[in-house]
Chain A
Amino acid sequence: METIFFYLVALVAVVSGFLVVRCQSPVNSALALVNTFFCLAVFYVMLYAPFMAAIQVIVYAGAIMVLILFVIMLLNLGTEARKRYTHGVVWAAIASLLVLVNVVFFIKRGRVTGAEGDITDYLIKTEGHTELIGKALYTEFLLPFEIASILLLVAIVGAVILAKKDV
């Protein structure tokens, strides 16, 4: 049952991903992208990562998609954006297929052998996912977490510099 469900969602995800690239209108592409994001959220649920699934829906399918749609509509893309960019598409297809075959080969042959961490199933059940992630962020990964705030600051400053008419 779960396997069938997985393949069903995977099919939807891949088809929507394909449509993101193929759609003529940018709005349709964006909507197909939302679909892909939702499918990914489903995968997270199936991997017993409900927190990630919620974040995926809230941040990606929600906030980021709204921004993308806003940008598309504000820019009012003309005929230029509807042109098909088929430059070198054959080579790109060959290269992507090669990468796909490689990745599938390595992952099929490879094994996930990571050491079992301190976070056991029992701990997840008793403490809850979100608490554990929060704890890890503020203890073990405190520095990367703080660096991420600088990253966002830099991105905001950069966006303002590039977008403002005269700084």
Chain B
Amino acid sequence: MRSRLPVVLVLPAIAGLAFLLVPLAGLLIKAPWATLPSQLFSAEVGQALRLSLICASLATVVCLVLGVPLAWLLARSDLPGRGVLRALVTVPLVLPPVVGGVALLLVLGRRGIVGQHLDQWFGISLPFTTAGVVLAEAFVAMPFLVISVEGALRAADPRYEEAAATLGASRWLTFRRVTLPSVMPGVIAGTVLCWARALGEFGATITFAGNFPGRTTTMPLAVYLALETDPDAAIVLSIVLLLVSVAVLAGLRDKWISGPS
């Protein structure tokens, strides 16, 4: 039997929705719609958009490859100091992204702790490259993936894994065939969050990878610089980024996410 929705929940919920959507509506209302098509198909916007999509996707792959095992370690192992480790993983979430970018420079920059050896031994220099953009985005976005996968793992019933083990499955086989499928919704939710965060990344990217068209200028960087001289163009660029990300997320939802809705 359904009872009436409690007002104490509904009112703040509506206020919350308005709080999130009204600024978005403001962007749409103030948009110079006449110039939208020409902006959308201009070479610079196409270049920045393509770079954004490629880098965010590569960063998400990096996060998946490193983040899922990390989440598993945090949820399933009996490592000492796991609580501290879990708190440390969330550091990039609270760190201002610009500081994250400076930290990356101090470690991976040309004179960085690790970066100077990369430069001397292999001739690899990461700042000001597309690889640098991917790294900066992955650094900022990975906690989103780790936290959602770890949450899903902790909520999952470990007895299935134990049953698999009693049937003779190795831990790696159990992970692949039992654990991973059971936490798939959490992995997908984490992946989507991670990708979205990477797509909007600004501070760490511009600090670590700099800004050069075609190489490191992603959409958020293009928006920021457009704001300096032409606020209308910045609004248009923001809407382009919004439309594309909403389209991708909605498309993914239909194709991959068949959770209860």
Judge: A and B partners, yes or no: no
Chain B residues within 8 Å of A, Cβ to Cβ:
none
